[in-house]
Structure 1
Amino acid sequence: MRITRKAAGAAAATVAVALTLTACGGGTDAAEPGSAEKVSTDEDITISLAWWGEPARAEMYEEAVDLFEEKHPNITVQTQFQDWDGYWTSRATEAAGGALPDVIQMDLSYLRQYGATGQLLDLDGQSGVNLDTGGVDDSLLASGQIDGSQFGVPTSTNTLATFYNADLLKKVGVEPLAEGYTWDDYSEWIQEVTEAGAGEDPALYGGTDFTGTFWFFLQWLIQQGEEPFSEDGELNFDEAQLTEWLNLGQGLRDSEAIFPIQKTKQLEPLGGFHVNQVASESTWDNFLAGYVAESGEDIQMLPIPSGENGPAQFWKPSMLLSASAQTEQPEAAAALIDFLINEPEVGKIFGTSKGVPAVQAQIDAMDVEPGSVDEQVVQYEEDVTDVVTEPAPVPVEGFGEIEAEFKRLGEELQYGNVTVDEFVTQWFSFADGAVKQS
């Protein structure tokens, strides 16, 4: 664990990690909007803030917290950060003991696991008093809700994009995809690029096996008019739907038109798109900076393929901020979340390092240089506003486990070690035991 200067000497001794959360008596009662009191400006208050990330992010958070403390001189914020894996291990330990930090950086994949088990504060009571969420898009804000209660507020947005390397496409004489293309169109285009790039050294591939990514499957379901998860936190799709999805990539796997899994594993943590051996990649739009830095090429973005109901994309919060249900200072915790969400200077500090800020005032405050990656990401999200029509699915409890198993089986499918039917059977068997009921 990395403890910053403000929390020096305040960390508790490490205890054995409880990887499964213990529900806290069924959760908190629903908060009446605006029922909280205004945060005190007289008494001395100390709250804690935790996030995952590298030292560069920590410097940004420290700068933002300094500004908050200047505006709230009676509030001291103790801060700590860790890498992704260590962060969630520590949170699980704290949750088991009812001792989460007052304010925690939350990921959508874990929101239900913590929010539906009584670990997070229902922020509705703070709304309009210490917390203003009026600047956050309604569909984005909904991604932080469970059963209508607000357990997390998005700090920033991203959405899916198909990246393509314009320089490589010129080299092999293939035109980029046209907007409005379908998943079948994408598969045919990957095949075309791979055939055109077969004579290059090294060979150029059109893309990777997109069917092995769980979030793409969820996006495809939404495009079919299906909600991936039910309101009570259960899977809302069946084996036939998963089979149909995986079969979208079977022709590419059979013809060896996708970047080989063996090469993918050799390159990790980079991928074929980073090293200019793959012409396209579909993922979250805030990956652009890494792609540009590693490839050195002209990288462009398009909306992802369309389904039966069009693109039907959703804003996914790249991260959220939540408060502990056990906090002794809910008003101060909400005030800190409000500051980090809305304060323009915070937008200037973070830029698009966490995604595009969720509030326009922070976007306006960013020092965006013409032609920069920040400008390109912001422009992309403005351009796709019309196709981002759906709320992000709130993951079920146990989401992280089933997502990891989906990835593992996707790799086995590419190796040829399992068939589509075996993938489906094994994954559903795993998911039946991993998805925890609220």
Structure 2
Amino acid sequence: MVNGRNVERRTILKAAGATAATLGLAATTGCGGDGGASADGTVTIRYAWWGAEDRAQRINKTIALFEKKYPKIKVKTDFQPYLDFWKKFNTQASGGNPPDVFQNAIGFLRKYDAKNVLLDLSEQAKAGNLRMEGFRAGLEKFGEIDGKLLGVPVGSNSMALVIDKPVYARAGVKPEQGWTWDDYHAAMKKIREKTGRAGDTGPYNVMYLYDLYLRQNGKAFFTEDGLGFTEADLTDWWTKAKKGVEDGSYANQKKVAQIKPKSAVAGELAGGEFTWDNFTVRYTSEGKSEYGLAPIPTTDGKKTGQYLGSLMLSASKRTQHPKEVAQFIDFMVHDPEVAKIMGYDRGVPATQAQYDAYKPTDEVNKAIAAYEESLVEAGVLEPITPHPNGADVCEAAFLRIGEEVGLGKRSVDEAVKQFFTESKTALGS
């Protein structure tokens, strides 16, 4: 799952300078996997993901464990920053040469299923090569689309409000589960008055936050075949965001842009911002303060609209080694040692076995685990909104156009019309 504001930050901060050569990774060529088996029965599968040096080092350690357990299966690796990954993958898929197994996200399942790229892993599960039990609550059916198993979750995350804890303390603001948007907006003004800092970075282009707001009000960003909201809805959202900047509740968007890739929270322009819970560690590395997680505000004091998001592992329909690919996925999502190596790099481990195997000792990751446990205990989690074919294009448009509104490059009315024009084209509606 991808948050637009943070895609850029994590690709720049963590991807800068990472190369296959410096990490000692096996180079992946334009040709496919080995096709068959070698003389001794060894097969080779290709595995690709987005990320950078730290994730690559962790993943390669897990691959070493896998190859030790399955000496007849070798794994070639390839990784890219997020945007570069999908450019390369799209080229490979269009050419009929996607990797055998790859990191995936909910916004791409229907897109590449429609292009006949994704392998339905159901048969491998039935054959016993891939276990689909033991997943944490909210993730059991995450990768199932239209009756097909197109992805297997590796970790979970959920939207949260990341806050600068000392700033909130100085302002006397204590967010609690069930607080309303009225409470939130009052808190933003109080932070501004008491600390001189904007309360929040601003919600212009945080698509998944807008999705939660819509879900709280009986709608959703996506339906199975299109957008689940109107131009009037989006006009209201962006108009309120603009007013928030004008009254100082939200940060000046030009200043936010100037300090990128650092976040406005770590850059001390805002007291908090909405993002995925497992990104908290990035704020700690960027800033000098202490950061924490606060609940999502609600419309009625009860419904947050939240769901667990997840990165997934998917397989290519063209793979010549479906059994071995399934065994690889099974190992990566169930083996306890993998969790100890990966930690929360891709979110909180998706299976209970891996969740139990990795117990964070640092305060940041402890807070992430506690936050997700609190969502289960509060009973606020719901099924994720379906993502239609073309959802990834809509998300990119929301990110870009929302930022343009914040920077004053487009009026709200112009931006809304542009977003709906691009989305209707992408969704074929």
- The TM-score bracket by the shorter chain reads 0.7 to 0.9
1:390 CA drift (Å): 1.3
Q: Confirm or deny: 8 A CA contact 1:187 1:249 kept in the other structure.
A: no
1:206 CA drift (Å): 0.8
1:182 CA drift (Å): 1.8
1:179 CA drift (Å): 2.5
Query: 1:268-292 CA distances to partner (integer Å, 9 max, x unpaired)?
Result: 0112201233111111001111112
C-alpha distance in 1 between matches for 2:364 and 2:207: 27
Q: Which residue matches 1:408? A: 400
Is the deviation greater in 411-420 or in 66-75?
411-420
Q: Confirm or deny: 8 A CA contact 1:46 1:77 kept in the other structure.
A: yes
C-alpha distance in 1 between matches for 2:111 and 2:168: 43
Structure 2 letter corresponding to 1:372: E
Q: Which residue matches 2:30? A: 12
1:241 paired with 2:241, answer no
1:218 paired with 2:211, answer yes
1:103 paired with 2:96, answer no
1:138 CA drift (Å): 5.7
Equivalent runs, 1:187-336 vs 2, <5 Å: 187-198=185-196, 204-231=197-224, 233-308=225-300, 310-317=303-310, 319-336=311-328
Q: Which residue matches 1:382? A: 373
Rate the CA distance shift 1:273–1:283 in 2: closer, same or farther, 3 A.
same
Q: Which residue matches 1:159? A: 158
Rate the CA distance shift 1:182–1:422 in 2: closer, same or farther, 3 A.
farther
Q: Which residue matches 2:36? A: none
Equivalent runs, 1:110-121 vs 2, <5 Å: 110-121=108-119
Rate the CA distance shift 1:56–1:293 in 2: closer, same or farther, 3 A.
closer
Q: Confirm or deny: 8 A CA contact 2:47 2:77 kept in the other structure.
A: yes
C-alpha distance in 1 between matches for 2:401 and 2:116: 32
Equivalent runs, 1:83-102 vs 2, <5 Å: 83-102=81-100
Rate the CA distance shift 1:355–1:98 in 2: closer, same or farther, 3 A.
same
SS in 1 for 2:323: helix
Structure 2 letter corresponding to 1:159: S
1:147 CA drift (Å): 1.2
Q: Which residue matches 2:391? A: 399
Is the deviation greater in 397-406 or in 334-343?
397-406
1:157 CA drift (Å): 0.4
Rate the CA distance shift 1:65–1:326 in 2: closer, same or farther, 3 A.
same
Rate the CA distance shift 1:75–1:272 in 2: closer, same or farther, 3 A.
same
Q: Confirm or deny: 8 A CA contact 1:312 1:389 kept in the other structure.
A: yes
SS in 2 for 1:316: coil
Q: Which residue matches 1:150? A: 149
Structure 1 letter corresponding to 2:342: F
SS in 2 for 1:105: strand
Q: Confirm or deny: 8 A CA contact 1:168 1:276 kept in the other structure.
A: no
TM-score, normalising length: structure 2:
0.87
1:11 CA drift (Å): 1.0
SS in 2 for 1:142: coil
Structure 1 letter corresponding to 2:346: K
1:368 CA drift (Å): 1.9
Q: Which residue matches 1:361? A: 353
1:169 paired with 2:175, answer no
Q: Confirm or deny: 8 A CA contact 1:344 1:362 kept in the other structure.
A: yes
C-alpha distance in 2 between matches for 1:214 and 1:334: 32
Equivalent runs, 1:35-50 vs 2, <5 Å: 43-50=41-48
1:295 CA drift (Å): 2.2
1:218 CA drift (Å): 1.2
C-alpha distance in 1 between matches for 2:41 and 2:31: 29
Match 1:2 to one of 11, 17, 20: 20
Structure 1 letter corresponding to 2:308: W
TM-score, normalising length: structure 1:
0.85
1:104 CA drift (Å): 0.6
C-alpha distance in 2 between matches for 1:395 and 1:382: 25
Q: Confirm or deny: 8 A CA contact 1:6 1:77 kept in the other structure.
A: no
- Extract unaligned runs of 5+ from structure 2: 1-18, 33-39
Q: Which residue matches 1:181? A: 179
C-alpha distance in 2 between matches for 1:350 and 1:48: 20
Structure 2 letter corresponding to 1:209: G
C-alpha distance in 2 between matches for 1:133 and 1:13: 31
Q: Confirm or deny: 8 A CA contact 1:130 1:334 kept in the other structure.
A: yes
Rate the CA distance shift 1:130–1:13 in 2: closer, same or farther, 3 A.
closer
After the TM superposition, list the runs of 4 or more consecutive aligned residues in structure 1 that deviate by more than 6 angstroms.
none
Match 2:122 to one of 121, 124, 131: 124
Q: Which residue matches 2:52? A: 54
SS in 2 for 1:249: helix
SS in 1 for 2:338: helix
Rate the CA distance shift 1:278–1:253 in 2: closer, same or farther, 3 A.
closer
Q: Confirm or deny: 8 A CA contact 2:159 2:208 kept in the other structure.
A: no
Structure 1 letter corresponding to 2:262: L
Rate the CA distance shift 1:229–1:168 in 2: closer, same or farther, 3 A.
closer
1:140 paired with 2:139, answer yes
Query: 1:205-224 CA distances to partner (integer Å, 9 max, x unpaired)?
Result: 11122143211111112222
C-alpha distance in 2 between matches for 1:214 and 1:48: 32
Q: Confirm or deny: 8 A CA contact 1:164 1:281 kept in the other structure.
A: yes
C-alpha distance in 2 between matches for 1:210 and 1:62: 36
- Extract unaligned runs of 5+ from structure 1: 15-41, 199-203
SS in 1 for 2:182: helix
C-alpha distance in 2 between matches for 1:169 and 1:137: 32
Q: Confirm or deny: 8 A CA contact 1:234 1:435 kept in the other structure.
A: yes
Q: Confirm or deny: 8 A CA contact 2:107 2:391 kept in the other structure.
A: yes
1:52 CA drift (Å): 1.4
Q: Which residue matches 2:73? A: 75
1:13 CA drift (Å): 6.9
